[in-house]
Amino acid sequence: MSIWDRIFFTALFLIISGLTTADALAASNSTRNLTHLFDLSNAGSIDLVLPTDVEVNQSHIVVVDSGNNRVVVFDQRGKYLFAFGRKGSGKGEFLDPVGLGLGKHGRIYVADTGNHRVQVFNSKGQFERLFDIRVGKISIRPIDVASDSMTGNIYVTGNNNHKLMVYSKQGKKLREWGGNGASHGKFRYPATLAIMKDSNIAVVDVLNSRVQLFQKNGRFLINIGKWGVLPGQLFRPKGVAIDQQQRVYVSDSYMNLIQVFNDSGKFLHVLRPHGKRDNMLTPAGIAVGNNHLYITEMLRHRVSVFKLE
């Protein structure tokens, strides 16, 4: 079966099986509407293919264009500016990248998943450095990366070791925690992560259907969400983002919606498009900034941008 066949049947399954649960959530009193602003899909001479993550700062929207093995940069109005990267294993090249993070001075950190490494670029997309993600002789597939603006440390989620790893700015491993399991502090395929104002870390724990919050030293704080299809529950969480009020936004790629919690883990509401706008399809990486919500819709090959009310 080709990749496009897999995409088609995955989309069909999500549409059919997710219809009832998504509609039930939308019918509840906890739903808030999203106002659609614009989409990002045209990206230079090549359109986006399977975008997996998005991050924003005051001037740029940065997208992992995973299907094209590159990173694409837009301005805040959605105008394409430039792209960098291509398929390969050399410096500045990617193999199935998944996540990214932004740091000081617009620096761009990319989880180069297929190459088992993190690459670092300046705000213009120029290569600066890289470091391998491994445990002993075992190469780890990084899924997401985030830079702590307070300490400069770099946090990386590992797919095949089920851990959160912390590196210095120079790429030296400082500590790690987790491991395969369902108890507090354990993970089953950690994915997207986000760093909060107090340097606490929110990590999407995909197969445990939750988001875990930790202090920067690895001390477990709380779980957000649990398995289920009711408001406040998660079925297949994929992305996480934090707003200025430290509210936690979580995308659910099965139920095709975004849920919002406070930083104590209390469920607040569901976010869904309204009006003539299509419902979301496979929302993955998300970002919040400039009073906007940015959502990568992988199977629609676009990033959708909404105004937050």
**DSSP structure string for 15-43:** HHHHHHHHHHHHHSTTEEEEEEEEEE---
Q: What does the pLDDT average to over 32-57?
A: 95
Reply yes or no on whether the pLDDT at 274 is more than 80.
Answer: no
User: H helices of the chain, where?
Assistant: 3-27
Range with top average pLDDT, 13-27, 29-43, 211-225? 211-225
Reply yes or no on whether the pLDDT at 118 is more than 60.
Answer: yes
Confidence of residue 29 (pLDDT cuts 50, 70, 90): low
* Tokens, residue 23: 């509609």
pLDDT at 1: 43
pLDDT at 21: 52
Reply yes or no on whether the pLDDT at 162 is more than 50.
Answer: yes
pLDDT at 75: 97
Reply yes or no on whether the pLDDT at 301 is more than 90.
Answer: yes
Confidence of residue 284 (pLDDT cuts 50, 70, 90): very high
Reply yes or no on whether the pLDDT at 15 is more than 60.
Answer: no
CB atoms within 10 A of CB 93: 18
Domain 3-307 has CATH 2.120.10.30: yes
| Per-domain boundaries in the chain | 3-307
**pLDDT > 90 in the chain, percent:** 82
Confidence of residue 22 (pLDDT cuts 50, 70, 90): low
The DSSP 8-state label assigned to residue 247 in this structure reads -
**Cα 1 from chain centre:** 27
Reply yes or no on whether the pLDDT at 16 is more than 70.
Answer: no
Q: Are 35 and 291 in contact (CB under 8 A)?
A: no
Lowest mean pLDDT among 10-14, 28-32, 68-72, 130-134: 10-14
pLDDT at 24: 53
Reply yes or no on whether the pLDDT at 230 is more than 70.
Answer: yes
pTM for the whole structure: 0.90
Reply yes or no on whether the pLDDT at 36 is more than 70.
Answer: yes
Q: Specify the long-range contacts of residues 295-299, CB closer than 8 Å, at least 24 apart.
A: 295/54, 295/239, 295/251, 295/258, 296/51, 296/52, 296/53, 296/54, 296/63, 296/64, 296/239, 297/51, 298/50, 298/51, 298/52, 298/253, 299/7, 299/10, 299/11, 299/14, 299/50
SS3 state of residue 223: strand
